[in-house]
Amino acid sequence: MKKTFSISRIGAAGKALATFVQSRAGFYALMVALLTIKSWFAYVVDFNHLHINSPFQVFLAIINPIGFTMVIFALPLFFKRRQLFYGASLILQTACSIFLYVTVVYFREFTDFLTVNTILNYGAANQGAKAGGAVSLGGHDFLYFLDIVVVILLLVFKKIRMDSLAFKKSRAFLYLSLGWLLLMANLALADIDRPQLLTRQFDREYLVKYLGIGPFTVLDAYNTAETSQVRHSAKPEDIRQVRQYLNQNFAGANPVYEGQAKGKNVIVIHLESFQQLSIDRKINGKEVTPFLNSLYHSKDSLSFDNFFHQVGQGKTSDAENMLETSTFGLPQGSLFAKLGSDQVFQAMPAILNQRAGYSSAVFHGNNGSFWNRANVYRSMGYQNWISGEYFDVTGKKATAWGLKDKLLFKDSVPYLERLQQPFYAKYLTVSNHIPYEIDKQDQDPNFQTTNSGSKFIDNYFVTNHYLDQAVEEFFNYLKKSGLYDNTTVVLYGDHYGINNSESKELAPLVGKNPRKWTDLDSLNQQRVPLIIHSPGLKNGGIQHNYGGEIDVAPTLEHLLGISNKRYIQFGQDLLSKQRRNVVAFRNKDWITADYASISGTIWDVKTDQKITDPTASQQKRFDAIQNEVNQQLAMSDAVNQKNLLRFYHPEGFTQVDASKVDYSKQHTIKRLKKGDQKDHSHSLFQQNGRKTTINDYQTDAPEEKDQQGQTTRVLPRGSDDLINDD
Ligand code: GP9
Ligand code: MN
């Protein structure tokens, strides 16, 4: 009896609702409700609950999509014609849903929110995400669009009839104002929980948690416009303050290591997505990376086990920027993509060339314009940019990200052997790139990976293993060709490979309980290896001090006997006795050997516990570290955003003239040959009696003998890349 009653009540309510939707006000409410519900859905299912940690924050997250959505959908209410009202409402619903969904997909990969900059630089920056392979799709993704299809069908079959009675302007304005009021109330309430939310701009997750995706994006667009303003207003005096700060924080060379690699060639091997967690790891009785492990433990190596990546949204390009310039990437977007086309750099290739006569080259099997590299490398002073356009990348020789590593190392030889010594050469590997898929034929049948429940993790170790073999083959060549003894090889992992979203499956592998996984555990996994391998090195071994990518350039300069005091570099020599041993992350988090700060929460690194009640002296110390971190990032941002190096002329440094460099294959070959003239050549080719050393190279890459094909897996470049490329 009771049951029938309640069913009939529900039926009546449904009917009333169905009638309500027939009016424009009802349709408006429906649009607002659908987008709001989808936003909540994204918060809970895709955005890791936004780290919401109090009932008040739950309340804010519930109301925050409503105000903005009310404002957006109030706009069509001003239309008189019904087709316009319904059409515009549906277009808005679709556009907002697409935006929400793209944000979700982006978040899965970067654990971060999409910014206006990222969108503007999309073509130059990350065409790879279009590959599908790199985009992680979820089984529930259709839910972001299902409602739109249903509403359209209801309209087509006249279950929802279009109401021809238009709103009066004043009523439409009332709805708009109500939305606006709610938005303002939301902002005021957010400010109670997190004072100065807008002015201090914590991280993006905070802004979304408190304000929602719409207001966050509007705010972000405003900031982007402001930055371009900043650049125009920069003055030469601005650099003085930076100089003063750097002088006060300078860490001098350690006499034990200073100059130990003087005059040697330098090869930097950028190990794509390679984390410290793979070092010394055994799976099913086999080491994942036996060769890298041997380098890591070699007495000829300086290895670091508390070395962190510090990249932001620019990922690989941020890592490269830090290593070449010892300045941070940008708070949003990729510096390469955003500023790289007209930035003045004082970067390693130019410094080493001007101070010690180094020649330079970068080797990478992806398109030359990816991450805006062609422009950036020119301005950094790279003499040669040997990109995917130089190699045969057809058929199975490449993945979506470029030539497979084993082939990259081998196919680089004809260029490498022509470089005048000493040289500074960088190899950017790609086979160990998300989604970590490599052809069966490249997999070692003797290596059985994990069965973790995450295909990313299982595949990750497989491509780690492939990368390890590729590096080993290259080292064998270095030894056989004679380069090895006179070369310092710097190997480093550019950033994480396993996203935070995989932590449930990762936890058991690193000895943690998945249910107790904390933010500190995630931070601890941001360690990447740094190995500086230099045959004949004295006092090598594994170093435990805390540092990051920003510190590599000063360390290397000092090893090469080049003082870096005159340059604008924010890192400190990792071997210096005067180091501060604080690692600053791009989002203002930080870690030391004792404490870490993650989104404003302090952790005791040794006990893995949060510090909720710090003593006065602890608090003082945390504040001091935070200030130092903020200052370091702000100074670096000022230099980069205002392009301040255009005003700075350190002794003996001539600004690079990027317009003089031609990276076309034809010109490069001509240039290398011209520099490699018989009577005054210092190339390996010359050393080898003017014969190629390619026969010293042994690879087991099965694709090696494949004929050149018609098709390639490497992604085509985005059309907007062409704008930046000449
Ligand atoms: C692309 C490669 C990858 O050429 O360097 O960049 P990432 O996606 O790691 O930033
Ligand atoms: Mn990378």
Ligand 1 pocket residue status of 370, Cβ below 6 Å: yes
Q: How many Cα atoms occupy the beta-carbon half-sphere of 670 within 13 Å?
A: 7
Q: Is residue 389 part of a domain?
A: yes
| Nearest ligand atom owner, CA of 492 | 2
Q: What's the pLDDT band for 651 if we cut at 50, 70, 90?
A: very high
pLDDT at 610: 96
**Looking at the CA of 399, which ligand is closest?**
1
Give the model's pLDDT for residue 370: 85
- 661-686 burial code (b ≥16 CB/10 A, e <16): bebeeeebeebbeebbeeeebbbbbb
The reply to whether 320 and 212 lie within a common domain is no
401 lines ligand 1 (CB under 6 A): yes
Mean pLDDT, residues 68-90 taken together: 97
Which percentage of the chain shows pLDDT scores above 90? 79
Distance, in Å, from the CA atom of 436 to the CA atom of 4, rounded to the nearest integer, reads 56
The total of other beta-carbon atoms located within 10 Å of residue 642's CB is 20
On whether residue 240 sits in a domain, the answer given is: no
Substitution site in 106, 268, 272 for ligand 1 pocket (most atoms within 8 Å of beta carbon): 272
If asked whether residues 190 and 268 sit together in one domain, one would say: no
Q: Is residue 709 part of a domain?
A: no
341 pLDDT band, cuts 50/70/90, is: confident
For residue 444, the domain's CATH number is 3.40.720.10
Ligand with minimal distance to 371 CA: 1
Q: Are residues 351 and 424 in the same domain?
A: yes
59/144 same-domain check: yes
How far apart (Å, rounded) are the C-alpha atoms in residues 699 and 235?
54
Cα gap 636→656, rounded to integer Å: 20
Measure 435 CA to ligand 2 centroid, in angstroms: 12
- Ligand 1 binding pocket includes 366 (Cβ within 6 Å): yes
Ligand positioned closest to the Cα atom of 365: 1
For ligand 1, what atom is nearest to the CA of residue 364?
4
Q: From the CB of 316, is ligand 1 less than 6 Å away?
A: yes
What distance in angstroms lies between residue 96's CA and the mean position of ligand 1's atoms?
Answer: 29
CA–centroid distance, residue 330 to ligand 2 (Å): 16
Say yes or no: 193 and 311 in one domain: no
CB half-sphere exposure, 142, CA atoms < 13 A = 4
The atom number, within ligand 1, closest to the CA of 430 reads: 2
pLDDT in tens, 288-338: 999 999 999 999 999 999 999 999 988 999 999 999 999 999 988 789 987
Separation between Cα atoms, residue 96 and residue 39, nearest integer Å: 10
Q: What's the pLDDT at 134?
A: 53
Which range (98-102, 228-232, 277-281, 468-472) has the least confidence?
228-232
Q: Does residue 278 sit in the same domain as residue 129?
A: no
Reduced 3-state DSSP string for 297-313: HCCCEEEECCEECCCCC
Answer yes or no: is pLDDT of 115 > 90.
Answer: no
Instruction: State the number of CA atoms in the 13 A half-sphere of 48 facing the CB.
Output: 20
pLDDT (0 to 100) of residue 67: 96
Confidence category of residue 475, pLDDT binned at 50, 70, 90: very high
Q: Is residue 493 part of a domain?
A: yes
Instruction: Choose between 259 and 200: higher pLDDT.
Output: 259
Higher pLDDT, 696 or 228: 696
pLDDT at 106: 86
Same domain, 41 and 151: yes
- Token reading at 696: 């010293």
Q: With bands split at pLDDT 50, 70 and 90, how would you rate the model's confidence at 1?
A: very low
**Residue reference for tokens 């990762």:** 506
Q: What is the mean pLDDT of residues 479-490?
A: 98
Q: Tell me which residues are annotated as active site.
A: 316
Instruction: Record the pTM.
Output: 0.79
Cβ of 295 closer than 6 Å to ligand 1, yes or no, is: no
Q: Which two tokens stand for residue 721?
A: 């890349």
The pLDDT of residue 219: 85
Answer yes or no: do 12 and 103 share one domain.
Answer: yes
In which element (H, E) is residue 104 found?
Answer: helix 82-110
pLDDT attached to residue 81: 96
Strand partners, 301: 533
Task: Supply the range of the domain harboring residue 126.
Answer: 2-230
CA gap 632, 701 in Å, rounded: 45
State the pLDDT at residue 14: 82
Residue nearest to atom 9 of ligand 1 (CA): 316
Kindly indicate the confidence band of residue 719, based on its pLDDT and cuts at 50, 70 and 90: very low
- The arithmetic mean of pLDDT across residues 466-483, rounded, is 98
Torsion of CA 588, 592, 595, 599, to 10 degrees: 10
Cα separation of 150 and 38, whole Å? 14
- The answer on 165 and 76 residing in a single domain is yes
343-360 pLDDT, tens per residue? 999 999 999 999 999 999
DSSP E strands, 501-581: 530-533, 541-543, 547-548
The enclosing H or E element of 488 equals: strand 487-493
Residue type (1 letter), 563:
S
Give pLDDT, residue 714: 86
- Compute the half-sphere exposure of residue 380: CA atoms within 13 Å on the CB side of its CA: 30
2 has a pLDDT exceeding 60? no
The Cα 442–Cα 431 span in angstroms is 10
CA distances from residue 250 to 180, 315, 382 in whole angstroms, order as listed: 50, 27, 27
Predicted confidence (pLDDT) at residue 201 exceeds the cutoff of 70: no
Q: Is residue 636 part of a domain?
A: no
Please determine, for residue 726, whether its predicted confidence score (pLDDT) is greater than 60: no
- Ligand 2 is an ion; its neighbours by CB within 5 Å are 272, 315-316, 494
Helix ranges, 565-677 (H): 616-641, 665-675
Ligand 1 atom nearest to CA at 428: 5
User: What confidence score (pLDDT) does residue 127 get?
Assistant: 39
In short, whether 134's Cβ falls inside 6 Å of ligand 1 is no
pLDDT at 122: 55
CA–CA separation, 526 and 519 (whole Å): 11
Q: Report the separation in Å between the CA atom of 315 and the middle of ligand 2, taken as the mean of its atom positions.
A: 5
CA dist 102 to 43, 56, 96, 420, 645, Å? 14, 28, 10, 47, 36
In this predicted structure, the answer to whether residue 514 has a pLDDT above a threshold of 70 is yes
**Count of domains forming the chain:** 2
**480 pLDDT above the threshold of 90:** yes
Lowest mean pLDDT among 390-394, 417-421, 476-480, 718-722: 718-722
pLDDT at residue 226 above 90? no
The pLDDT confidence band at residue 48, using thresholds 50, 70 and 90, is confident
Question: Quick check: is 8 in a domain?
Answer: yes
Check whether 199 has a pLDDT greater than 80: no
Do 373 and 385 form a contact (C-beta atoms < 8 A)? yes
- CA 503 to chain CA centroid, nearest Å: 18
Tell me whether residue 520 is in a domain.
Answer: yes
CA distances from 439 to 286, 344, 395, 401 (A): 21, 41, 11, 14
pLDDT at 469 over 50: yes
Q: Using a 6 Å cutoff on CB, does residue 315 contact ligand 1?
A: yes
Judged against a pLDDT cut of 60, whether residue 723 lies above it is answered with no
100 and 146 both lie in a single domain: yes
pLDDT tens for each residue of 579-637: 999 999 999 999 999 999 999 899 999 999 999 999 999 999 999 999 999 999 999 99
State the average pLDDT over residues 86-107: 95
* Residue 563 CA to ligand 1 centre (angstroms): 31
Residues 374 and 482 in one domain: yes
241 alpha carbon – ligand 1 mean position (Å): 34
Q: Is residue 196 part of a domain?
A: yes
Q: What does pLDDT average to over the chain? A: 92
pLDDT of 724:
32
Position in ligand 1 atom list of the atom nearest CA 317: 10
- Do 163 and 271 share a domain, yes or no? no
Q: For 537-561, write each residue's pLDDT tens digit.
A: 999 999 999 999 999 999 999 999 9
Q: What is the pLDDT of residue 338?
A: 79
Strand partners, 402: 399
